[in-house]
Every structure is written in C-alpha cells, then in structure tokens.
Chains A and B, each alone.
Chain A
Amino acid sequence: MKKKLKIDDNIFRLIIILVVFLLIAGITKGNSFLKVSIFQTMGRQMAEYGLMAVGCGICMISGGIDLSCVYVANLCGISAALLMQKNENAILPAILLAIVIGAACGAFNGFLISYLRIPPMLATLGSYQLFQGISVVISNGSTVSGAPEKYTDFGMKTVAGIPAAFLVFVLIIIIMSVVMGKTKFGARVFLVGTNAKCATFAGIKNKSIIIKTYMISGIVSGCAGLLSLARINSAKADFGTSYTMQCILIAVLGGVNPNGGFGTIPGIAIAVLILQVLSSYLNTFPDVSNYYRDCIWGIALIGVLILNHVINKKKSDKLAKMGS
C-alpha cells in the first residue's frame, strides 16, 4: 500500500491541483462556469491537444522530444479531408489513411533519430518543416473543408452528455497507459530514456524501440488531427501552431522528465485537464485578453519545473539521511 502511494505521488499532487482549480472556478464563477455546455466544449478541445501531448510525452520519456506532433496532425487532417472531399462515402478509408500517414511520419522521425543519429529535437524540427511543407503543397496553401456531414457529426456527437471526442481521448489514454505501464515495450521505452547505453547492453534493440515510440506519437497525433477535422470541419497547414509549446508544457506538468526516463500517461492526462480548466476559467472573464494565457502557461511551466526540482531534492536528501 505504502509503495503504491509513493509511485503515485505526482499524480496525487496533480489531482489536488485540479480539484483546487475546479473549486476556485466553481466558487468565483459558479453560474457561468459550472454548465454542461462548458464542460462539453472543454472535452472537445482538450481531446485534440491532449492526444498530441501524450504523443510528445512518450517521446520525452524515451529521452527525446517530438516537435512535429501538431504538423503531423495537420497533415493527417488535410489528407483525410481531401480524400473525403473526393468521395463522400470514403470515411473509413480516410480515417485509415490519416492513421497510416501519422505512422509513416512518426516512423520517419524515428528513422532520422535512431539510424541517422540526428538529435531528436533537430530531427523533428526539420521534419515538422517538411510535414508542414507537404501539407501546404497538397492543400495549395488554403483551408481544406467540406468533409461529409456524417463525419463532422461525430465532432458534435455526445454519448450520455459526454462528447464523443472526449471518449476517444479517454480510450487512447487507457490504451497508452496499459502499453506504457504493463507491457515489455513500455518498460523498454523507460529504460532507453533513462540510459540508452545501459539499455543497449541489456540487450534492448534501441533503434526499433525508438522508431516504434515515434510511430505511436505519429499515430496519436494523427487521431488528434482527425478529431480537430471533425470539430471545426476544416484543416489547414498552420492550424494550432501554438500547441507545440503547450504539448511540452503539459508533458512536463504531468511529471515527464525532459531528460527522459520518467513520467506517466495518467499524469499527462490529468495535466491536460488542469490546463483546460484553467483556460476555460480564463475565458469566463471577457475582459482578460487571451494572450494572458501564454503568460500563465509560461509561468506554470517554469513554476512546475522548480517545484518538482525542490520536491525531488527534498526526497533525495531524506534518502541520503536514511542511508547514513
């Protein structure tokens, strides 16, 4: 029991933060914040960048970073939209196409990082320009819209009051938690992130693990692209460029160590919730500029980093004392 609590320390902290935020929001802006419609909007918005954050997060756990999530999502969204524009009934093929493209983009990133040994940040930096460029070329630089209604209905659909997009998000979170927490593959990703050299000597095939990690990130980002296509019925090459920063922030807030090796998927999920509550809460103040959000997120990112640093230091000091 005690051991279990220790592992979930960070998640526990995050849940407390979330509850405190919800309480503050509920007390100060109760009548305009605690509404079903607000929570539904939150669920829809959160699913998109939440998925990208999960993708970026697992790459960070493997010791790298994925800056291309947003652009992979856009590329997938655009190609799915183009296919559906041509053929109204090709909804399923379009979804498959998007996921395959996402996987291919991810695998490409993984190939650059593992085989060509380009540092992850640079490889994804270069590939995001490439993906964005391809999106611009195939969409002729304009917004692609006109997905069939059957598909866009999904964006507004609710199941028992819960937006379908949010359910997809929860489903993917559960799958990813199991993959990262319960499978051999997940354990290996953590090992590679902690110490790549040790992992090699432990007989792990680093290259294939890294390619798979980035592939998962690509697939998850592809799903995010599909969700945003369903929600706003359009896809654009430079949609949501600010999400890149946000994804990294969420991952770090959720307890992922930027140096690799630590982090949990549920932690990332709760961090997504916290950010969404915070930003929806800010939206209820009409006179507060949207740009303040950037400010708060910047402070939150650095604040959380410092907080984690201090807490970890205290912990290790305690352990050192116990040792002596």
Chain B
Amino acid sequence: MKKQMNKVLRQTEFWVFLIIIFLALIIQARSGAFFANNNIVDIMRSMICPSLYAVCALLAFVSTGPDVSFPLVAALSSYLAITISIKINYDGPWFVVYLIGMFFGALMGALNGFIIVKYKFPSLIVTLGTSSLFSGILLGTFEAARMDLPATLQRFAELSLLTVKNEKTGLGSTLPMTFLILVAVYIAAYLVLNYTMVGRGVYAIGGDEISAERAGFNVKKIRFGIFVVNGMIASIAGLCYAVMSMRYLPNEYAGGEMVVIAAIILGGTRMTGGIGTLKGCILGTLLLTMVTNSLILVGISVYWQKVFIGAIIIIGTAIPAIQSIFGKNKGKKVKGGEAA
C-alpha cells in the first residue's frame, strides 16, 4: 500500500492534477464562474485541437525527439483536403474529407520520417526545415486564403454534442462533434501504446535505441511509422480546427507547437525519450488551457497571459529535473518506461 502511494507520489501526473484542482479552486473562489457549466464546456472545446496535437508531440518525444512540424502539416493537409472536396463537389459522408486529409498528412509525415530515419539528424532541426517548406508550399505555391468549408463539413460543423446555457449569466456554449474524434483518437492511441508490440516498441526505442534493436524491435520501421501516424493525427487536428471555426484559416495554424510541447512536458513526458503518458498529455493541456481561458475570469489582464505560460513552463520543467536530482541523491533511480 505504502509502495503504491509512493509510486503515485512520484508520478508527475499526480502533481499536475493537484495543481489543476488547486488552480480551479482559486479561480472559482475569485470569480465564482469556473465551475459554471458553460465555462467547463468552453474549456473542453478549446482543448480539442491542442490535445490532438499533444498526441503527435508525445509520440515524437517518446520515441525520437521534438517534432515541431505538426501545425503546418495540419494546415497544409487540411487545405488540400478541403480544396479537393470543393473542386470535385464532394457531398458524401464527412469522414471521407478527413481520410483525404490523413492521406496527405501521412505523406508529409513520411517525408519527416524518411529524413530523420535515413540520416539520423536531430528531429528538431529536420521538422523546423520541413515546416518551413510546408508553409512555403501552402502560402506561396497554393496562395491559400481563408475559405468556406465544403457542404458536408459545414453540416458536420453544425452538429453539436452538448449545448449548455448558464442560467445566471445567460451565456451559452456548445460542444462540437469533433470532441468525439478526440476521444476516439485517445482510445486508439491508448490501446496501441499499451497493448500492442508496436506500442511497447515506441517506448523501447525512445528509452534505449540499441537495446530495443537487440530485443528485436525494428527501430527504423517504428520510427518511420510514428512520423507517418503523426502526420495523420496532425491532419485530423487541422480539419477539426477548420470545422470548429466554421471556415479554413491558413494563418491561424502556425505557432501553436511550442505551447503544445510545453503542455506535454508539464504532463511528465521526458525530453530524453522513453517516458510519457497520454494521461499526462491531457492533464498538461488542461492546465495550460485553463490558464489561458481563465485569466480573464480572475481579473488578470490578457497581457499577462504569456508571462504566466512562460513561468508555468519553466517551473513545470524544473520540477522533474529537481526531482531527479533528489532521486539520485537518495540512491533511487526513477524507473523508465512507465506507460499510461
């Protein structure tokens, strides 16, 4: 029992969870509006895209290293999917548009994966390069501009999963259907990462590449596959973003990557690879979303938002580092390879 307690206490996720509850109570106490139904739904709604990106970032970090190309993969693949479906006047089920997007996303991810696997370059530099390339293609070659969605996505966007209205303030909020996509992606990722050989391989190659190879994992294939999957998830997130904002906005994608990476690091993913959980992804994203959404509720000027985010990232990343220093002093090594 004590051992289990210790294990929980050592998990970063637990501390993040505590911070979230603490923060929620403070915001509730100061504004009285945090636990209002519309605020909760708002937070859930604004978590959809970052949480999807967080899966990309998690897979990349756990197995290889940082991937910063996902916002532009999302932008370019959803642009292609939307343009193609408009050009051919497509009006079938909505998920076919997603499939088109995922196809292009997979291609772009494959480019990342190929360069990283073949030449063993640092993934940060490679993905910086490819995201610059994708942004050039999107805004230069295609001259993407804001545009309306094809009819089928438009209808999909108008569906809602849940609509709430705050009795006191009269403010309403709806949860779009894309939330179900998020849930589905997380369930799939959870099952693959925890119950399949490939999933365990993702953690293994991040923990120790050579040992993983000796143990029989095909490091190159797994790594390449991760980047392809990352491209696909990024394109899903990109289309979800377009659906939720009811039109395609090419300039709104870039720049989100750093906050997403910060979120998953807060959630306990290690920079050095091999450690990171989906639970942590959700909690980290929730924490940052709460901060960005709720500063106004507490009466802090929006100008301070970046300061808070920066401070949270620094404090959050310092905690595991300090923990591991103390852990070493006690002679206990933090065990690697913990999964969700």
Chain A residues packing against B (C-beta within 8 Å): 65, 67, 112, 116-119, 121-123, 125-134, 136-137, 140-141, 241, 245, 248-249, 252, 258-259, 289-299, 301-302, 305-306, 309
Interfacial chain A residues near B124, Cβ < 8 Å: 65, 121, 258
Interfacial chain B residues near A296, Cβ < 8 Å: 136
Report the 4 A-B pairs with minimum CB-CB distance, sorted nearest first: A295-B136, A130-B310, A133-B306, A298-B133
Interfacial chain B residues near A132, Cβ < 8 Å: 306, 310
**CB 8 Å contact bits of B93-123 with A (1 = contact, 0 = none):** 0000000000000000000000100010110
- Asked, given contacts A129-B310, A245-B132, A298-B129, whether A122 binds B317 with beta carbons under 8 Å apart, the answer is yes
Interfacial chain B residues near A126, Cβ < 8 Å: 262, 310-311, 313-314, 317
Interface of B is mostly: helix
Who on chain B is nearest to A139 by CB? B303
Give the Cβ gap from A70 to chain B, nearest Cβ, in Å. 12
Q: A292–B122 Cα gap in the complex (Å)? A: 24
B140:A131 contact, CB within 8 angstroms: no
Assuming A299-B133, A306-B119, what are 19 further A-B pairs, CB within 8 angstroms?
Answer: A67-B258, A112-B314, A123-B314, A126-B314, A129-B262, A134-B307, A136-B307, A137-B307, A141-B303, A291-B139, A294-B133, A294-B140, A297-B129, A297-B132, A301-B128, A302-B129, A302-B130, A305-B121, A305-B126
Q: A259–B65 Cα gap in the complex (Å)? A: 13
Give the Cβ gap from A52 to chain B, nearest Cβ, in Å. 15
- Asked, given contacts A118-B317, A121-B271, whether A249 binds B129 with beta carbons under 8 Å apart, the answer is yes
Q: A299–B130 Cα gap in the complex (Å)? A: 7
A116:B313 contact, CB within 8 angstroms: no
- Asked, given contacts A133-B305, A302-B126, A302-B130, whether A294 binds B135 with beta carbons under 8 Å apart, the answer is yes
Interfacial chain A residues near B119, Cβ < 8 Å: 305-306, 309
**CB 8 Å contact bits of B4-44 with A (1 = contact, 0 = none):** 00000000000000000000000000000000000000000
Chain B residue total in the interface (Cβ 8 A): 49
Give the Cβ gap from B291 to chain A, nearest Cβ, in Å. 11
B129, B137, B138, B305: most-surrounded residue (chain A CB, <10 A)? B129
Who on chain A is nearest to B318 by CB? A116
Number of CB contacts from chain A to chain B under 8 A? 151
Q: A118–B271 Cα gap in the complex (Å)? A: 9
Interfacial chain A residues near B308, Cβ < 8 Å: 133
Interchain Cβ contacts under 8 Å between A and B, 12 examples? A117-B321, A118-B317, A125-B262, A129-B259, A133-B304, A133-B308, A137-B307, A258-B121, A291-B140, A292-B141, A295-B135, A298-B129
A298:B313 contact, CB within 8 angstroms: no
Interfacial chain A residues near B121, Cβ < 8 Å: 258, 305, 309
In the complex, whether B296 has a CB less than 8 A from a CB of chain A is no
Interfacial chain B residues near A137, Cβ < 8 Å: 303-304, 307
Select which of B136, B137, B143, B313 is within 8 A of A293 by beta carbon. Answer: B136
- Asked, given contacts A127-B310, A130-B311, A130-B314, whether A245 binds B271 with beta carbons under 8 Å apart, the answer is no
A121:B66 contact, CB within 8 angstroms: yes
Q: A116–B324 Cα gap in the complex (Å)? A: 10
Q: A289–B136 Cα gap in the complex (Å)? A: 9
Who on chain B is nearest to A304 by CB? B129
Interfacial chain B residues near A121, Cβ < 8 Å: 66, 124, 271
In the complex, whether B145 has a CB less than 8 A from a CB of chain A is no
- Asked, given contacts A121-B66, A126-B314, A301-B129, whether A294 binds B262 with beta carbons under 8 Å apart, the answer is no
A298:B130 contact, CB within 8 angstroms: yes
A301:B318 contact, CB within 8 angstroms: no
Interfacial chain A residues near B255, Cβ < 8 Å: 241
Q: A292–B141 Cα gap in the complex (Å)? A: 7
* Residues 255-276 of B at the A interface (beta carbon under 8 Å): 255, 258-259, 261-262, 265, 271-272
Who on chain B is nearest to A136 by CB? B303
A133:B261 contact, CB within 8 angstroms: no
B310:A295 contact, CB within 8 angstroms: no
A130:B306 contact, CB within 8 angstroms: yes
Interfacial chain B residues near A297, Cβ < 8 Å: 129, 132, 136
Interfacial chain B residues near A119, Cβ < 8 Å: 271-272, 317
Interfacial chain B residues near A116, Cβ < 8 Å: 318, 321-322
Q: A296–B136 Cα gap in the complex (Å)? A: 8
Interfacial chain B residues near A130, Cβ < 8 Å: 306-307, 310-311, 313-314
A133:B317 contact, CB within 8 angstroms: no
B314:A298 contact, CB within 8 angstroms: no
**CB 8 Å contact bits of B130-160 with A (1 = contact, 0 = none):** 1111111111110100000000000000000
Select which of B125, B133, B140 is within 8 A of A305 by beta carbon. Answer: B125
Q: A297–B303 Cα gap in the complex (Å)? A: 33
Who on chain B is nearest to A301 by CB? B129
Interfacial chain B residues near A305, Cβ < 8 Å: 119, 121, 125-126, 129
